[in-house]
Structure 1
Amino acid sequence: MTQSTTTRGQAAPTEGGPPARAGRAGAVRFAATHTLPVLVRDLVGPRPRPLRTGATLGRPRWPAATLRALRARHGGAPVLLRGPTGPTLVLLDPRDLPRFHESPASELAAHPPDKCRAPGAAAAAGRPTGDEDHDDLRARRREVNEIVLASGSPVHPSCGPFLAVIADEAGRLNAPRTLGLARARQAVTRAARRIVLGDTAAEDEELAGWLDRLDAGGDRRGPRGNRAAETLHEKAGARIARYAAAAEPYTLVGRARRHPDPAGTLDPVGQALHWLRALDTVPTVLLRTLLLLAAHPAEQDAACAEARSADAAKGELPRLRACVQETLRLYPVVPDLVRVTVTETEWWGVRHPAGTSVLLPALFHQRDPEHVPAADVFVPARWTSPASRADLRMAPFGHGAGRCPGDRLGLLVVAAFCAEVLRGHRIRDGRPALDPVGPLPAALDPRRIRLTLTRR
């Protein structure tokens, strides 16, 4: 597929011509203002850590300005940047979004396939030796995920038990007057263990600590670190397997256990680990959503009315789900989506070799004032249209084959926690203070969020 039009007066690369490249200064600026902050964020993660006095409110707005400058300079054409991990093609024009999301894995892969490895490099641990076997295994795992997570259903079949678990654990959020990240994590991780593994896993803080250490990567420095990480992974896997064997039928592992697997190739323990890690993002999204509602009292009152309605017991909560989606548009869990070309691929008339990383800066596109109305303002109503789920400018859960199969379940969990807080409390004061009409900050550090709750 060849793109030949441009967004501004500068012409796109001609057929077969050289790619649009950022100069050395542009590449350094991009790395310093976009890539490096993202890498630091991924290394630090959403864990509660002490902050230095005078820390700023998240990242500055340099990354968006950098990308807009690159788009203007190159007429919207994809820009090739060279970095420590090799060439990266950055997609800056919204017209490239359909191809990125709709291309099959045979053209754009989520992870580098074996054929893109350097000659003589060893295959990844646990990966089948053949690409076809690997693709088949990924397809079967995707099928299990879609069935267990009920990706095609507006409301999960286990909605009732899940809502009961959330209502039980949300009591930990409402007791003290101030709500912050540590308490939100405690309540959500307990609920996550019950949803994934069953009630017997609720109190297992040791398992939570193991998963935190694995996510932090602190045990992976050098050969000894790798062995320590493998040992830790084995211990966590054995503990999860024990819970999975006795899990209630409505839990995620209980549903996975009923899925036929005659070849014995699927790993329910590994899937459970993946689901627990995915739900670990809920506290951050929950706090940001509640902070935005604190800054918009009318929206908060409407969300409270929905939480108190009889329909709330069904788990649909369309207004609160829209608030969560708008929060994820403004502050996505994954601000950049990356694919790798499997074969030589053409973009805007320029051919790029296999193994080229293709980066879609999702946050940039979701908050692009040139293409998104009220891009820096909290407008949940934009998600009430049925077409919003298919709007490629908005990709908090991805699109196409790369769409997260747990998007509806994730929305259910966050919206249900929000409903439990709002049903009996008003959020009168949120810190940091947000301007309800002015542009919202480019980032919200969840460690700095403090919410004051008062009885309604």
Structure 2
Amino acid sequence: MRTVQGAALDGLRARVRALGAEAPDRRTPPAAPTFGARLRGFVSTGTPRASAAALRALKARRGDGPALVRTRSGRTFLVVLDPLDLHRFYAEPVSLLAADPPEKCRGLGPEEPAGIGCSRGELRAQRRRINEEALAAGVPVHPSCGAFLAAVAEEAPHLTATRVLDLVRARHAVHRAARRIVLGDAAASDEELGGWLRQLRGGRARAARTVYGRTLARIQEYAAHADDGTLVGRATRRSDPAGALDPLRQAHHWLLAMDAVPGTLLRTLLLLGAHPAEQDTAAAEATRGGTDGELPRLRACVRESLRLFPVVPDLIRVTRAETEWRGVRYPAGTSVLLPAAFLQRDPERVPAAHVFVPGRWKNPDADRDIRIAPFSHGGGRCPGDQLGLMITAAFCAEVLRGHRLAGARPVLDPVGPLPATLDPGTIRLTLTRR
């Protein structure tokens, strides 16, 4: 059986031979293959376009088997590309392949957030179960949909107050609705809380600790009066004898998670503006749609937008024990990376990979297709996927119900390959009355 050191040395010798250099001494300490680092913008260090080029080069050199690669930042990943490895990535239990908490969870010292997003191991599994109940995971229409959709409808006029819709307006409307959904109507106008959350998304560690304390104190004020229809109210009143989930810290993560909605909303509307027939179909659904929050066609458009431009382009897990992949052993603590953005746009495996085709989501098996994972799969699947779809589709419906997308920047080719990236900060949508 090969070892990780042997695999690394094989890769190193192959690279040296390709360069026409002398073979390395076998006593040289083993190192992960670094040719990915010499390809501009490898995974997690550059743009998805550059990452795709690096991953294609990786496939050409190594095939679809797992490859150990070091990035420019010096971090080493085991990159998986083959369908069999994807199945395993999604199927492994958290006891063997644990989620890697994001950077936002670090730097807060003893006050590290106690929400599910920053948890590890069995504690994460316990918190996830409680979190799923509050979010009604897997349920297309949340039990509190009446209140949630009312909040969306009442905040949507901020999107259409002028003829031009951009990220500033989208964030303003969505964040107001998010504070109402998570904490209650009283929080809608709390721009100070919104400012603290913005600081926590990208602030320095010392400032983050101070702001985090203020944020939790403010959330606690709202939670004390929140009704059962809010997310924090549902979490607070849920029986949790072990005290695994702190509703206040989880509410903080829910608010941060809602930050993905404005960009997804703008990208979806931009794509609809570039495809008039799809826009008319979605607008017709919005016009005849009731208050049940279903909107299947618009949800398909949101899913397709996320397939093309995922919020999380790379999924990362960390092994909690020694594991074996394709006959090679890897130690505990190995970071395993699944490049979701690349795989969802791989023309070798995904039909019309670079084209907007919301109809692909009509297939009931599409949501279980491991090649397409806008919300991940298995135990790592986002528990708020259905709620996020409901809210984003509802905002799209509010815009399309009374307005038509008459122009947009940037201009997208409706039939040609779509760009690899789409910065929502550059999107400008021109609205006209229907």
TM-score category (smaller protein): 0.7 to 0.9
Residue 240 of structure 2 aligns with which residue?
261
Of 270, 278, 292, the match for 1:314: 292
Matched with 1:398 is: 376
Match of 1:81 among 59, 69, 77: 69
Q: Any residues of structure 2 matched to 1:365-404 within 5 Å, and which?
A: 365-404=343-382
Q: What do residues 134-155 of structure 1 show as CA deviations (whole Å, max 9, x unaligned)?
A: 6343222111111010013121
1:62 correspondence with 2:50: yes
Task: Tell me the residue number matched to 2:87.
Answer: 98
Alpha-carbon deviation of 1:14? 10
Q: How does 1:420-439 map to 2 (within 5 A)?
A: 420-439=398-417
How far, CA to CA, are the matches of 2:44 and 2:138 in structure 1? Answer: 34
Q: Which amino acid aligns with 1:254?
A: G
Cα distance in 2 for partners of 1:152, 1:182 equals 31
Cα distance change of structure 1 residues 234 and 14 upon mapping to structure 2, 3 Å threshold: closer
Task: After superposition, give the CA deviation of every residue in 1:336-371 in whole Å (9 maximum; x if it has no partner).
Answer: 000011111111111111111100000000000000
What is residue 125 of structure 2 aligned with on the other side?
139
TM-score after normalising by structure 1: 0.84
Matching residue of 1:18: 7
Change over 3 Å in CA distance of 1:213–1:127 after alignment to 2? closer
Alpha-carbon distance in 2 for matches of 1:74, 1:152: 37
Q: Is the 8 A contact 1:369 1:375 kept in 2?
A: yes
1:25 Cα offset (Å): 6.2
Could you say which structure has the greater relative contact order, defined with CA pairs below 8 angstroms and 6 or more residues apart?
1
Distance 1:428-1:78 versus aligned 2 partners, 3 A rule: same
1:155 matched residue in structure 2: 141
Q: CA RMSD in A?
A: 2.2
Rounded to whole Å, the distance in 1 between the matches of 2:297 and 2:278 is 9
Is the contact between residue 113 and residue 249 of structure 2 (CA under 8 Å) also seen in structure 1? no
Q: Normalization by structure 2: what TM-score?
A: 0.88
Kindly state the Cα deviation for residue 255 of structure 1 after the two structures are TM-superposed.
0.9
Between the aligned partners of 2:34 and 2:237, the Cα distance in structure 1 is: 56
Tell me if structure 2 keeps the 8 A contact 1:21–1:80.
no
Deviations 1:47-105 (A, max 9, x none): xxxxxxxxxxxx47222121111112112111111244543111122331100001011
What stretches of structure 1 of length at least 5 have no aligned partner? 3-12, 38-58, 113-122, 221-225
Task: Tell me, yes or no, if the aligned pair for 1:21 and 1:79 is still in contact at 8 Å.
Answer: no
Measure the CA separation in 2 of the matches of 1:245 and 1:101: 38
SS at match of 2:430: strand
Determine helix, strand or coil for the equivalent of 2:355: coil
Sort the Cα spacing of 1:14 and 1:34 in 2 relative to 1 into closer, same or farther, 3 A: closer
Query: Structure 1 vs Structure 2: percent identity of aligned residues?
Result: 61
Q: Distance in 1 between matches of 2:383 and 2:181?
A: 16
User: How much does 1:15 deviate?
Assistant: 11
* Structure-1 separation of matches of 2:48 and 2:128: 37
Deviation at 1:127, TM superposition (A): 9.3
Structure 1 residue aligned with 2:98: 109
Matched ranges for 1:402-413 at <5 A = 402-413=380-391
Which residue matches 2:276? 297
**3-state SS of the aligned residue for 1:314?**
coil
What secondary structure, in the 3-state scheme, does the structure 1 residue paired with 2:243 have?
A: coil
8 A Cα contact 1:21 1:81, kept in partner: no
Unaligned runs of 5+ in 2: 16-32, 102-108
